[in-house]
């Protein structure tokens, strides 16, 4: 009898501990998000979106340049990164399906997903900043695109693989060439999954700071010229949070709040699409 | 087999395009490696490999550089953050797979995913403004008063608690990697066949015994892969630590001292470097970081693949 | 989907190439220390003239490198570039604003302006030779002050900075040991102490760590209400850091236009001069006359209208006769 009780107590203790662990995970989430919300919401105002930065000591001012810059860099990164990723994933799942090369590239992409983003920043600095002689928005966009490609590529590959082979065979039987089958049948079948991958990859790069530090850098004025340094929210947050002025800190919190909400919404949207398309998982 | 379909000229074209796109990943990796080696060649020639890795010098005036202090910071923060994160992450995985009632599984899973999605700069800023003061005012003095009094362990908690130190950086880093480790462990746990678990229950095992003796041994490889993957992540994390590590090039015995990691050094000094050798040495650091994390991640991948194959 | 994508593509390319330079822009890069005051000036300048001055604070070293490579209209550096190097790289240089490095301490019971130090004692503290506050070398300077027998924690910058360059130049002049063992530069290998990132990092540490001493730009000491010390200057006076003592340093110093104003404002001869001051400099590419005229017009405007802004941000404007010297220098080089 005693042994049974001991086992039960042991089980109870261990399970309580792991419940606590799960609660602590929730605790940090609530703590961090709550903190960002409390600090950020007080600093939110319309001027933040409509005005350019005012220098320290002058009241008001906003981060219009950073919002627009961030959108522009992310957009360009998406335009470069998504086609590469989707097409690459197509190769792995279709033309090279089951071949060694597909396997190798797939593994390399998985590794690439977690490679330190600051290393990508230094790489782009050497390739696109130093030769041109100045920081520029394109360099930032390319750095982010390099981070996006493996994410999109892997999800695309996975999603295309999920499309049943019989579907393709049915199309082949009608005499369709492979590329038509891919575009009209396979892509259609996997559209929701690919879209999720794209959303998640945007969420991933929208919050990146390290690769932008030495590429797109920062600009205190409103600029949409990608050949010039362009401001981004994340680099601005880094600069403002480290700075000595209270008004900077407040704006950094507000910017953090906006970017967090944006990324969490993308993430949730991605999850919802998956759930809606592929059922509960 | 599918390549047989390449009869149509458009098909050939399309397959070549997709192949090139897929190869871009290989090009990126090779390109990064090549460029980093090229850019750091000045520093490699000057300091060599072993000299650079083991030299604790980081002296921009005399242009003498070494990676040891940066590697030290990277190693300590990574190790500590894993130490804090693994138990919590495995606990979360156990809770989600074995304990939680169904209506809780979803929300907690989502919460963990969201924790993983928060950008690292937010962690960094939160660490600087919120966590660091808490650490310096409450937690670190408390540690000094308790563990600091223990003879050998006390060395770890010497100095003045400032909140900008190895300990705070490691705590933030551990919060960041918990979600990765947790979700991979969860996936690994889920690979355990229900039949095996059920037969253990049928023999009268408690839930904990099932976890301890069936699930964990079964998913050992997967958990290990997850841990190594988190290690790779922690190695390369920049912004979360840049705010709270203090960027001080030193090897210290106290966790309450400022230090520098490779990533933090790069973020702080890259645009400030004024001589070619200085910049080249920073590229050298980036190269070391790239190689280290690549190897780590490759090992993680191998373990995860094996774990998948087994089931 | 496709049309949307195409639209985006056209839009970005168009933005990239056509919307360029709707307004006149001056691009500058360099030192982080004067960033707040330059950006404040630029903000007002744009409002009155429509001309944009985009200043990127990438650090003094970066500023010199960028202007040397001719990728910006002007560079900025906290450390003056020696005349030989200017000639070699075909650059012009002039001061824009004055700053000063002050020593800040955290000793319970000691208030701002109470603790007196001289160059020798500061040097020994930063070398780690004076380790306690009641050391006889400090006590002899402060006979009336009650100093605790506590260990000194030295706080220094951990990133490269012009502030450090100014301070370490001061230390190198203060004692031979420093010059020999450590030297002067934007980042040095510190014998003792803890490092904070940026002026604010150092200010933060000094505020939190009891019995510490650090060095920061005057603006940060003032904004963070830190306890500053008095310093003995070469005239033998103990001076307090203030606008007046910085200006005294700038006014008494012999800025020589022939040497492109190359001068460390260390131990300036004025009676009330603060010993650790420094001008922050603007660098121009000699042959780029057109863009230089634009840049000079901006700084001329700032010299005329920017003093109040500078003072509000706790920077010290150049004294009037130095401004005139700079104007003469511009004229001499045909850009004014």
Q: Which chain B residues are within 8 Å of A171, Cβ to Cβ? A: none
State both tokens at A252. 């950094």
- In angstroms, how far is the first alpha carbon of chain A from the final one? 41
State both tokens at A277. 């398309």
- Domain map (residue ranges) of chain B: 40-310
DSSP state of C157: E
Q: Residue C161 has what pLDDT?
A: 78
With a cut of 60, say whether residue A39 has pLDDT above it: yes
Q: Residue C19 has what pLDDT?
A: 45
Asked if the Cβ–Cβ distance from B274 to C64 is below 8 Å, we say: yes
Arithmetic mean of pLDDT, B288-310: 90
Say if A120 is an interface residue toward chain B (CB within 8 Å). Answer: yes
Q: Which residue of B has its CA nearest to C183?
A: B61
Q: What is the pLDDT of residues C285-298, one digit of tens each?
A: 998 888 899 999 99
**What is the nearest CA distance from C205 to chain B, expressed in angstroms?**
7
Percent of chain B whose predicted confidence (pLDDT) is above 70: 97
Q: What is the pTM of this model?
A: 0.87
Asked if the Cβ–Cβ distance from C158 to B258 is below 8 Å, we say: yes
Asked if the Cβ–Cβ distance from C40 to A218 is below 8 Å, we say: no
Within 8 A by CB and 6+ apart from B179, the residues are: A25, B89, B112, B113, B115, B116
Arithmetic mean of pLDDT, A118-128: 94
Q: Residue C18 has what pLDDT?
A: 43
With a cut of 90, say whether residue C192 has pLDDT above it: no
Binned at pLDDT 50, 70 and 90, residue B11 comes out as confident
Looking at this predicted complex, what is its ipTM? Answer: 0.92
Percent of chain C whose predicted confidence (pLDDT) is above 90: 35
Range from A238-247, B94-103, C28-37 carrying the lowest mean pLDDT: A238-247
Binned at pLDDT 50, 70 and 90, residue A279 comes out as low
Binned at pLDDT 50, 70 and 90, residue B42 comes out as very high
Chains with 3 or more CB pairs under 8 A to chain B: A, C
Say if C19 is an interface residue toward chain A (CB within 8 Å). Answer: yes
Q: Residue A245 has what pLDDT?
A: 72
Q: At what angle do helices B68-94 and B262-269 cross, to 10 degrees?
A: 120
B residues 28-57 closer than 8 Å to A (CB): 28-29, 31-32, 35-36, 38-39
Q: Which chain B residues are within 8 Å of A94, Cβ to Cβ? A: 2, 18
Contact by Cβ (8 Å): B69, B52: no
With a cut of 70, say whether residue B78 has pLDDT above it: yes
- Domain map (residue ranges) of chain A: 2-41, 48-278
**What is the nearest CA distance from B114 to chain C, expressed in angstroms?**
28
Q: What mean pLDDT, rounded, does chain C reach? A: 85
Asked if the Cβ–Cβ distance from B117 to A264 is below 8 Å, we say: yes
Q: Which chain B residues are within 8 Å of C201, Cβ to Cβ? A: 164, 246
With a cut of 60, say whether residue B152 has pLDDT above it: yes
Rounded to whole angstroms, the Cα distance separating A52 from B23 reads 41
Say if C191 is an interface residue toward chain B (CB within 8 Å). Answer: no
Say if C9 is an interface residue toward chain A (CB within 8 Å). Answer: yes
With a cut of 90, say whether residue A120 has pLDDT above it: yes
State the burial class of residue C21 (Cβ atoms within 10 Å of its Cβ: 0-12, 13-18, 19+).
exposed
Asked if the Cβ–Cβ distance from C159 to B269 is below 8 Å, we say: yes
Q: Which chain B residues are within 8 Å of C31, Cβ to Cβ? A: none
State the burial class of residue B130 (Cβ atoms within 10 Å of its Cβ: 0-12, 13-18, 19+).
middle
Q: What is the pLDDT of residues C118-162, one digit of tens each?
A: 999 999 999 999 999 999 999 999 998 889 988 898 988 877 778
Say if C313 is an interface residue toward chain A (CB within 8 Å). Answer: yes
Contacts 24+ apart (CB under 8 A), B209-214: B209/A7, B209/A11, B210/B98, B211/A14, B211/B94, B211/B98, B212/A14
Torsion of CA A68, A70, A73, A76, to 10 degrees: -70
**What is the nearest CA distance from A130 to chain C, expressed in angstroms?**
10
Percent of chain A whose predicted confidence (pLDDT) is above 90: 50
**String of DSSP letters for B265-296:** HHHHHTTT--SHHHHHHHHHHHHHHHHHHHHH
Arithmetic mean of pLDDT, C46-56: 87
With a cut of 60, say whether residue B98 has pLDDT above it: yes
Asked if the Cβ–Cβ distance from B164 to C205 is below 8 Å, we say: yes
Nearest CB among B99, B111, B237 relative to A15 is that of B99
- Domain B40-310 maps to which CATH number in 1.10.3720.10, 1.10.260.40, 3.40.50.300, 3.40.190.10? 1.10.3720.10
Q: Which residue has the higher pLDDT, B21 or C58?
A: B21
Arithmetic mean of pLDDT, B178-207: 88
Binned at pLDDT 50, 70 and 90, residue C23 comes out as low
Q: Residue C13 has what pLDDT?
A: 54
Q: Residue C100 has what pLDDT?
A: 85
Q: Residue C158 has what pLDDT?
A: 75
- Rg, Å, chain C Cα set: 22
Asked if the Cβ–Cβ distance from B21 to A19 is below 8 Å, we say: no
Q: Which chain C residues are within 8 Å of B160, Cβ to Cβ? A: 153, 208-210
With a cut of 90, say whether residue B82 has pLDDT above it: yes
Contact by Cβ (8 Å): B157, B147: yes
Arithmetic mean of pLDDT, A31-35: 93
Within 8 A by CB and 6+ apart from A260, the residues are: A33, A36, B118, B119, B122
C residues 248-267 closer than 8 Å to A (CB): none
Q: Residue A67 has what pLDDT?
A: 93
Contact by Cβ (8 Å): A117, A147: yes
With a cut of 60, say whether residue B6 has pLDDT above it: no
Arithmetic mean of pLDDT, A79-103: 93
CB neighbourhood size of B138 (10 A): 11
Asked if the Cβ–Cβ distance from A224 to C42 is below 8 Å, we say: no
Q: Residue B173 has what pLDDT?
A: 94
- Domain spanning A48-278, CATH class: mainly alpha
State both tokens at A53. 């930065």
Q: Residue C3 has what pLDDT?
A: 56
Nearest CB among B61, B163, B272 relative to C59 is that of B272
Q: Which residue of A has its CA nearest to C4?
A: A79
**What is the nearest CA distance from B180 to chain C, expressed in angstroms?**
30
Asked if the Cβ–Cβ distance from A226 to C16 is below 8 Å, we say: yes
Q: Residue A76 has what pLDDT?
A: 95
Binned at pLDDT 50, 70 and 90, residue C15 comes out as low
Say if A219 is an interface residue toward chain C (CB within 8 Å). Answer: yes
Say if A212 is an interface residue toward chain B (CB within 8 Å). Answer: no
Rounded to whole angstroms, the Cα distance separating C212 from B212 reads 51
Q: Residue B84 has what pLDDT?
A: 93
With a cut of 60, say whether residue B5 has pLDDT above it: no
Q: Residue A145 has what pLDDT?
A: 96
Q: What is the pLDDT of residues A72-90, one digit of tens each?
A: 999 999 999 999 999 999 9
* Degrees, nearest 5: CA angle A82-A84-A87: 100
Contact by Cβ (8 Å): C95, C279: yes
Say if A243 is an interface residue toward chain C (CB within 8 Å). Answer: yes
Q: Residue C25 has what pLDDT?
A: 82
**What is the nearest CA distance from A8 to chain C, expressed in angstroms?**
49
Q: Residue A281 has what pLDDT?
A: 44
Percent of chain C whose predicted confidence (pLDDT) is above 70: 93
Q: Residue B1 has what pLDDT?
A: 45
Q: Residue C22 has what pLDDT?
A: 52
**String of DSSP letters for C17-51:** HTSTTSS-EEEEEE-STTHHHHHHHHHHHHHHH--
Say if A214 is an interface residue toward chain C (CB within 8 Å). Answer: no
Within 8 A by CB and 6+ apart from C156, the residues are: C126, C164, C190, C193, C194, C195, C196, C202, C214, C215
Asked if the Cβ–Cβ distance from C5 to A54 is below 8 Å, we say: no
Binned at pLDDT 50, 70 and 90, residue C66 comes out as confident
Q: Residue A243 has what pLDDT?
A: 72
Going by C-alpha positions, the residue among C4, C333, C277 that lies closest to residue C162 is: C277
Rounded to whole angstroms, the Cα distance separating B119 from B113 reads 12
């Amino acid at each position: 009898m005693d042994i049974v009780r001991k086992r039960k107590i042991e089980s109870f203790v261990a399970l309580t501990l792991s419940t606590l662990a799960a609660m602590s995970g929730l605790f940090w989430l609530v703590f961090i998000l709550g903190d960002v919300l409390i600090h950020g919401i007080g600093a939110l105002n319309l001027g933040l979106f409509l005005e350019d930065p005012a220098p320290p000591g002058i009241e008001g001012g906003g981060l219009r340049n950073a919002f627009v810059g961030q959108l522009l860099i992310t957009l360009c990164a998406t335009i470069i990164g998504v086609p590469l990723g989707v097409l690459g994933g197509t190769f792995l799942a279709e033309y090279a399906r089951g071949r060694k090369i597909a396997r190798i590239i797939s593994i390399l992409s998985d590794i690439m997903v977690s490679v330190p983003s600051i290393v990508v920043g230094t790489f782009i600095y050497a390739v696109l900043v130093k030769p041109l002689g100045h920081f520029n928005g394109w360099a930032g966009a390319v750095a982010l695109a390099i981070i996006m490609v493996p994410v999109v590529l892997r999800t695309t590959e996975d999603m295309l693989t999920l499309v049943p082979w019989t579907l393709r065979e049915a199309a082949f039987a009608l005499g369709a060439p492979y590329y038509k089958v891919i575009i009209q049948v396979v892509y259609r079948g996997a559209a929701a999954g690919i879209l999720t991958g794209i959303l998640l990859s945007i969420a991933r790069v929208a919050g990146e700071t390290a690769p932008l530090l030495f590429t797109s850098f920062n600009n205190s004025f409103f600029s949409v010229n990608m050949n010039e340094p362009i401001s981004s929210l994340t680099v601005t947050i880094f600069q403002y949070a480290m700075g000595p002025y209270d008004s900077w800190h407040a704006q950094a919190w507000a910017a953090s709040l906006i970017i967090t909400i944006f990324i969490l919404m993308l993430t949730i949207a991605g999850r919802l699409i998956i759930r809606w398309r592929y059922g509960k998982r | 087999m599918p390549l047989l379909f390449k009869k149509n000229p458009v098909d050939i074209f399309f397959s070549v395009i997709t192949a090139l796109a897929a190869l871009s990943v290989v090009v990126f990796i090779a390109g990064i490696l090549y460029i980093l080696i090229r850019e750091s060649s000045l520093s490699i020639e000057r300091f060599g490999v072993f000299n650079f890795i083991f030299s604790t010098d980081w002296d921009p005036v005399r242009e003498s550089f070494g990676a040891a202090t940066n590697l030290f910071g990277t190693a300590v923060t990574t190790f500590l953050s894993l130490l804090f994160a693994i138990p919590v992450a495995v606990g979360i995985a156990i809770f989600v797979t074995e304990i939680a009632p169904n209506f809780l599984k979803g929300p907690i899973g989502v919460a963990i995913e969201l924790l993983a999605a928060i950008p690292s700069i937010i962690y960094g800023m939160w660490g600087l403004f919120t966590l660091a003061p808490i650490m310096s005012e409450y937690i670190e003095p408390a540690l000094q008063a308790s563990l600091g009094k223990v003879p050998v362990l006390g060395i770890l908690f010497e100095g003045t608690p400032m909140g900008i130190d190895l300990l705070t950086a490691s705590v933030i880093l551990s919060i960041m990697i918990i979600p990765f480790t947790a979700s991979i462990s969860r996936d690994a746990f889920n690979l355990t066949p229900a039949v095996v678990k059920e037969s253990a229950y049928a023999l009268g095992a408690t839930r904990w015994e099932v976890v301890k003796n069936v699930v964990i041994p079964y998913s050992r490889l997967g958990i290990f892969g997850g841990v190594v993957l988190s290690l790779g992540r922690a190695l390369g994390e920049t912004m979360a630590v840049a705010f709270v590590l203090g960027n001080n090039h030193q090897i210290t015995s106290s966790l309450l001292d400022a230090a520098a990691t490779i990533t933090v050094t790069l973020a702080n000094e890259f645009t400030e470097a004024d001589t070619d050798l200085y910049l080249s040495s920073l590229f050298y650091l980036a190269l070391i970081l790239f190689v280290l994390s690549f190897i780590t991640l490759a090992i993680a991948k191998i373990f995860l693949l094996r774990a998948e194959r087994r089931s | 989907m496709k049309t949307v994508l195409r639209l985006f593509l056209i839009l970005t390319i168009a933005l990239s190439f056509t919307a360029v330079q709707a307004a006149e822009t001056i691009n500058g890069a360099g030192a982080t220390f004067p960033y707040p005051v330059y950006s404040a000036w630029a903000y007002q300048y744009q409002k009155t003239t429509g001309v944009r001055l985009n200043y990127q604070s990438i650090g003094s070293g970066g500023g010199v490198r960028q202007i040397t490579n001719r990728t910006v209209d002007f560079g900025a550096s906290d450390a003056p570039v020696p005349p030989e190097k200017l000639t070699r790289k075909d650059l012009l240089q002039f001061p824009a604003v004055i700053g000063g490095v002050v020593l800040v301490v955290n000793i319970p019971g000691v208030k701002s302006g109470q603790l007196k130090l001289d160059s020798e004692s500061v040097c020994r503290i930063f070398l780690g030779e004076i380790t306690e506050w009641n050391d006889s070398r400090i006590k002899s300077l402060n006979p009336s002050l009650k100093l605790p027998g506590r260990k000194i924690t030295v706080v220094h910058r951990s990133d490269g900075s012009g502030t450090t360059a100014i301070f370490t130049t001061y230390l190198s002049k203060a004692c031979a040991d420093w010059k020999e063992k450590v030297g002067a530069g934007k980042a040095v290998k510190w014998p003792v102490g803890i490092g904070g990132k940026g002026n604010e990092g150092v200010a933060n540490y000094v505020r939190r760590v009891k019995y510490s001493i650090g060095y920061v730009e005057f603006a940060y000491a003032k904004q963070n209400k830190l306890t500053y010390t008095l310093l003995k200057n070469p005239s033998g006076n103990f001076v307090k850091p203030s606008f007046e003592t910085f200006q005294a340093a700038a006014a008494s110093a012999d800025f020589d236009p022939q040497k492109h104003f190359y001068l460390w404002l260390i131990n300036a001869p004025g009676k009330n001069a603060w010993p650790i001051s420094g001008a922050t400099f603007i660098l121009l590419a000699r042959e780029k006359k057109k863009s230089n005229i634009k840049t000079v017009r901006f700084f001329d405007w700032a010299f005329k209208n920017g003093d109040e802004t500078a003072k509000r941000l706790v920077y010290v404007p150049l004294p009037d006769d130095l401004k005139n010297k700079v104007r003469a220098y511009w004229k001499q080089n045909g850009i004014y």
